[in-house]
Structure 1
Amino acid sequence: MGLLDFLFGNKAKKIEDFKSRGAIIIDVRSKGEYDGGAIPGSKNIPLQSISSKMNDIKKWNKPIITCCASGMRSASAAGILKSNGVEAMNGGGWFSLSKKL
């Protein structure tokens, strides 16, 4: 196990685990950013709307992988989801995440 794996966990293994359980990808960028390119099948819920959509997200009863442009907003979104009892992980930037899926 390398130092980065130790510090940050093995993201690829976690993504595979989430995918195997039917994870839903939430892209937290703005609609304009999302419309410019996104992971097929992902849902666009901008970061500022995550809290107001929490009841809908909980009804899905699936693990959530968040993504954005660089990973900053998706980290915030994953934190909000986790604090509300939703199993979530930060997938980072949408483009690099798309290569791992």
Structure 2
Amino acid sequence: MKIENLIKEKNCTIVDVRTHEEFMGGHVADSINIPLAELQERMEEIENLKSPLILCCASGNRSGQAQHYLSQKGIDCYNGGSWLDVNYYQSRTN
């Protein structure tokens, strides 16, 4: 399923893997912030989120790293790329 459809149907959780400071500077509505550096220590929280996860960051690089790591842990997730792209898809659902 395409990422846009998952977001449109509100059938996912959007996780922003940027730093807390970057997140506070702007983020996708209803997204949650779990910085890339905190993924390992927050696995229990991540496992309890509504899946699949749509991961985003500034450019798609960190979310790609997060997607690779979480996929290896059995988490259903997708690299959404830039949070601005994910925000655009989210804005079209209203």
TM-score tier, shorter chain, comes to 0.7 to 0.9
**1:21 Cα deviation from its structure 2 partner:** 6.4
**Runs of 4+ deviating beyond 6 Å:** none
TM-score normalised to structure 1 length: 0.80
**Paired positions, count:** 89
Asked if 1:100 corresponds to 2:89, the answer is: yes
The structure with the greater share of residues assigned to helix is 1
Task: Give secondary structure in 1 for the equivalent of 2:81.
Answer: strand
The gaps in structure 2 that reach 5 residues or longer are none
TM-score normalised to structure 2 length: 0.86
Task: Supply the AA of the counterpart residue of 2:84.
Answer: F
Asked if 1:50 corresponds to 2:44, the answer is: no
The gaps in structure 1 that reach 5 residues or longer are 1-12
Of structures 1 and 2, the larger Rg is shown by 1
Structure 1 vs Structure 2 CA RMSD? 1.5
Q: In structure 2, which of residues 14, 21, 28 is the aligned counterpart of residue 25 of structure 1?
A: 14
Identity %: 37
